[in-house]
Amino acid sequence: MIILLLQTNKAKVKNYYNFKVSGLFILFILNIFSVVAQQTGRIAGKVTDKKTGETLIGLTVKVEGTAKGVSTDVEGRYNIGGLAAGRYTLVFSYVGYQAKKISDIVVKAGSVTTMDVVMEEPAGQQLQQVVINVSAKQASVGALYAQQKNSISISSGISADQIKRSPDRNTSDVLKRVSGASIQDNKFIVVRGLADRYNSAMLNNSSLPNTEPDKKAFSFDILPSNLIDKVVVNKTASPDLPGDFSGGVVQISTKDFPESAFLTLNVGTAYNTQSTFKDFVGPQNKNKGMFGGYDKGRDLPSSFPMKSAYTNMPVEQQIVEARKFTNNWGPQNYTAIPSPILQATYGTSKVLKNNNKFGTVLSLSYRYDERLQKGETNGYVGQSLNFEYNDNLYNYNTNIGGLANFAYSWGSNKIALKNIYNRVVEQQFTSRSGMEVDSYVRNNFNYLLERSLYSSQLVGEHAVGAKLKFDWNLNYANTKRTEPGFKRLTTQSSTDSENGPYRLNVGQVGSPTTLGDFYSDLKEDLYGASANFSLPVNWFNQKNSKLKFGYFGQYRDRTFGARVLGYISGAYDNVGFDTSLQGYPQDQLFNPENIRVGGFFLQDITNGTDTYDADAFLNAGYAMFDGYLAEKLRIGVGVRMESYAQELNSTSNNNNPLKIDTVFNALLPSLNVIYNTTEKASVRLSASRTVGRPEFREIAPFSFYDHKRNANVVGAPYLRPSTTNNFDLGYAIYPKAGEVLSISGFYKYFENPIEQSLDFSSGRSFSYWNAPSANLFGAEFEIRKGLEVINEKLKNITFSANASYIYSSVEVSKVRINKDGKRPLQGQSPYLVNAGLQYASAQKNPFGLSVLYNTYGRRIAAVGNIVDTDLYEKPRHVVDLQISKSLGAGKGELKLNYGDILNNKYVEYQDVNDNGKFDKGDNLNRSYRLGSNITIGYSHTF
């Protein structure tokens, strides 16, 4: 399929499928066991308590009329194999519960029938020997109710099955579908309209490190969606969740115990309407990035001296050192190719003696795309236009991911080792043209970012008796971020004509923005441990209550270093600068012979603030009660204590030591109340206190040049932590399996909220500050409903929608910040909307169709001041389409996705006329389009 697409441009893309990529997957496949179709089938599932949603451990499951039987493990799971094709009846029995007999369970050869079951306690003095008889279909309905209704905190989520039926490639795409959530910059989550810094991320119950040097955020685009078992966004606090959030805690779970052995291969390709087969400009040797590496000629030479040594060298020796740099300033021309998409996933679950189990999930994924981002960038100081540019950003992005999960369970115990690795290489060449004040300029930016994430977790779950539970987690994560040889070059028209000729801008003092070379390395290690205990209690004459308490510890260690270099005119010792060099082609400018007296000198303009190291140690403990005060009234109440010690060391530009050493202690109480008005409906109430701590980058004095905005980003060392008081009230109905209707309202009061601010009047810079306080009010609505209520012929169509309305108000200075003295919270969207229609036919090889829509209200990208008004991000409307068709009795699946059909512009602007929308009277700061994506892929499970 990919080959057919590529034949249209065979000469230009003949190396497109390099054997290096194919080799990765061939080795992966050859080193795992072959999966042989079985002549028998299995029945597997999970057993939970109807009232609490808790899993039941040690419950007996028997196949009626046979000697086959097992007990549920520590996760409440069972797995019965060796069943010939046919129909079976299972009997579930457990002390204190009514036995349940489920009939008409269909088993097919070589496949697994999933049957999740909920158990009920007897009503009053009802005899235990009474058996509930239900069909397989009825049992599945009850299991889904228990999962949806029994989370103690208010949350929204999405399952692996829903992910499969969407066109989403990575976790950031998935999160757009969650009620009350949206995505910023295609990778950072916004929950209830609150910016990324107000949210936390967890992978398999371990906190994820920040992936960005310039913000408190996790980049969700690095996690492929098909490695995910489920995603849950908790919107209210409970003592057993991290306290550092105000919007939501995103919990991502990966798979560990497959229900049966499988091998799935995926192959596909993507076409971008704005980029594919178009002429592209890019860096030299861009193909190395295609396979997860980069041209090492971009690196700072290993023998290049430190700044102090280099600055004190004689000019002749500086020239020798400067000639060590590879001359890779010249761009090359390419033709953009379709995106290859490859993945292989293998899983097996072996049932051993005494029903012990060993499970394995292995996966490798690869994606590469080339995409043109066309747009414009303007710069205002007040109402004065300082520059206006037209930008072509040529992006070359590679994402390579791997997952290796192993789990072993015996009796009421389970231990798992979960590993995930992801590597992203982003190459970007920017061709910029326009005006600065009264001069015509053309700029080039040659940028490369290599980032990686490795996370390893050793986790255990244990049960003593029927309900006493203990779980623990030891985890390590490492993030690396390298920016090698970020080259910035400016030329200016010598005739004040747009047609040039253009000559290189070079001065006598090095400039990181005009003619500079930048290098940075960030490394962060994260070590964590946690333990949680759950003790059953029978208080208030009610069963199914428990006391929970636990500990969470995390140590973070970050090192960051940057080198900033600038080329200057080499006039020296009565030898003038050779101005003819300013007209040289870009690829010849910095040939070794041009690094000389009278040519170019290399100046080290690194500042003391360009390096810092930091560490933080979080200790947290909690205690809570989760149980029933009455038959229908459940309460979760407790307190979490967190102590956070943060230290950062850097140097001022005057070489004076700069040290930040703080300890933040926080007592965080929370209350969650659930009243079940009926079996299918409940009212929820929540109140809590949470915190928002300054991130390393937000307090680091380091100043980074953001070429996309043509502005600097600098930290604020004296930021204070914020606190948030949260209140929620909600009502939800679950009419039938897979359906929900809910509405909720919430209020938040912020003390010292942390925001990103801008100050263009002093040289176009972004920084951070504490606003005094903020109030936020909001409401959420969600519906997921089958359309058979309209007409029985529509029974295979499901409609889903969720919407949020949020209003926030920050009191600010009328003199220094905002003439009105009031504005919304930075990063907060006033509304969020997700909607979709999903169709799945009932035939043997079903046909599927999904249409999904997402948008958000305008939000402040950066807080302004009395001269530079607030910078807003304009709403975007996104429509996605997926068509799928199962083949070969469900073993194969063909998918066609059409992503971002509308291709709306991304726009940042200043609302000069203050009318609440973007129009001709406003100051456009930045805009671009990314094009629409058409993806076709085929997956097959063996």
Q: What is the pLDDT of residue 928?
A: 94
pLDDT bracket for residue 167 (50, 70, 90): low
User: Following CA atoms 813, 912, 859, 828 in sequence, which dihedral angle do they give, to the nearest 10 degrees?
Assistant: 20
Average pLDDT over residues 657-685: 92
Q: What is the pLDDT of residue 164?
A: 59
Count other C-beta atoms under 10 Å from residue 33's C-beta. 10
Residue 276 within a domain: no
Q: What is the DSSP string of 536-573?
A: EE--TT-SSEEEEEEEEEEEEEEEEEEEEEEEEE--BT
DSSP H helices, 128-199, are 136-149, 160-164, 171-175
Average pLDDT over residues 697-717: 81
Average pLDDT over residues 524-548: 89
The most confident of the ranges 196-200, 373-377, 813-817 is 373-377
Q: What is the pLDDT of residue 139?
A: 44
Residues 130 and 175 in one domain: no
Tally of residues, the chain: 942
The two tokens of residue 515 are: 């003619």
Residues 72 and 218 in one domain: no
Residues 626 and 707 in one domain: yes
Residue 306 to residue 604: CA distance in whole angstroms: 9
pLDDT in tens, 607-641: 988 999 999 999 999 999 998 898 889 999 999 99
CB 468 within 8 A of CB 413: no
Of 116-120, 188-192, 230-234, 908-912, minimum mean pLDDT range: 188-192
Q: What is the pLDDT of residue 763?
A: 64
CB 93 within 8 A of CB 102: no
Going by C-beta distance under 8 Å and a sequence separation of 6 or more, which residues neighbour residue 522?
213, 479, 480, 481, 482, 558, 559, 560
Cis peptide bond prior to 501, omega within 30° of 0 = yes
CB 70 within 8 A of CB 32: no
Residue 521 to residue 504: CA distance in whole angstroms: 29
Going by C-beta distance under 8 Å and a sequence separation of 6 or more, which residues neighbour residue 637?
624, 625, 670, 671, 672
Nearest to 178 by CA among 233, 254, 97: 233
Q: What is the pLDDT of residue 36?
A: 39
Residues 139 and 159 in one domain: no
Residue 11 within a domain: no
Residues 725 and 589 in one domain: yes
CATH of the domain at 420: 2.40.170.20
Q: Which residue has the higher pLDDT, 851 or 865?
A: 851
| Last-in-domain residue among 226, 256, 286 | 256
Q: Which residue has the higher pLDDT, 290 or 640?
A: 640
Residue 350 to residue 107: CA distance in whole angstroms: 19
Count of structural domains, the chain? 3
CB 910 within 8 A of CB 878: no
Average pLDDT over residues 805-830: 78
Q: What is the pLDDT of residue 595?
A: 95
Is the predicted pLDDT of residue 131 greater than 80, yes or no? no
Residue 301 within a domain: no
Owner of token pair 């036919």: 841
Residue 246 to residue 728: CA distance in whole angstroms: 12
Residues 170 and 132 in one domain: no
Residue 306 within a domain: no
Q: Which domain holds residue 162?
A: 155-256
Residue 196 within a domain: yes
Residue 4 within a domain: no
The two tokens of residue 171 are: 């976790």
CA 583, distance to chain mean position in Å, is: 45
Residue 195 to residue 184: CA distance in whole angstroms: 8
Pair type for strands 797-811 and 439-464: unpaired
CATH of the domain at 55: 2.60.40.1120
pLDDT bracket for residue 704 (50, 70, 90): confident
Q: What is the pLDDT of residue 921?
A: 85
| Last-in-domain residue among 133, 149, 165 | 149
Residue 346 to residue 362: CA distance in whole angstroms: 5
Going by C-beta distance under 8 Å and a sequence separation of 6 or more, which residues neighbour residue 746?
192, 235, 726, 727, 728, 729, 776, 777, 778, 779, 780
Q: What is the pLDDT of residue 811?
A: 80
Going by C-beta distance under 8 Å and a sequence separation of 6 or more, which residues neighbour residue 731?
681, 682, 683, 684, 742, 743, 744
Residue 247 within a domain: yes
Is the predicted pLDDT of residue 14 greater than 50, yes or no? no
Q: What is the pLDDT of residue 355?
A: 77
CB 731 within 8 A of CB 743: yes
pLDDT in tens, 909-923: 998 888 888 988 899
Mean residue pLDDT of the chain comes to 83
Q: What is the pLDDT of residue 633?
A: 92
Residues 140 and 160 in one domain: no
Pair type for strands 413-436 and 384-410: antiparallel
| Last-in-domain residue among 114, 149, 184 | 149
CA 455, distance to chain mean position in Å, is: 14
The two tokens of residue 905 are: 């512009």
The two tokens of residue 813 are: 């200075």
Q: What is the pLDDT of residue 272?
A: 96
Residues 755 and 608 in one domain: yes
Is the predicted pLDDT of residue 238 greater than 70, yes or no? yes
Q: Which residue has the higher pLDDT, 165 or 229?
A: 229
Residue 434 to residue 179: CA distance in whole angstroms: 42
CATH of the domain at 167: 2.170.130.10
DSSP letter assigned to residue 815: T
Nearest to 282 by CA among 431, 102, 491: 431
Residues 925 and 810 in one domain: yes
- Coil, strand or helix at 294: coil
Residue 713 to residue 842: CA distance in whole angstroms: 55
Residue 191 to residue 176: CA distance in whole angstroms: 10
Distances (CA, A) of 435 to 373, 454, 663, 726: 20, 44, 48, 48
Residues 745 and 856 in one domain: yes
Is the predicted pLDDT of residue 391 greater than 90, yes or no? yes
Residues 485 and 523 in one domain: yes
Residues 633 and 579 in one domain: yes
Q: Which residue has the higher pLDDT, 396 or 217?
A: 396
Residue 275 within a domain: no
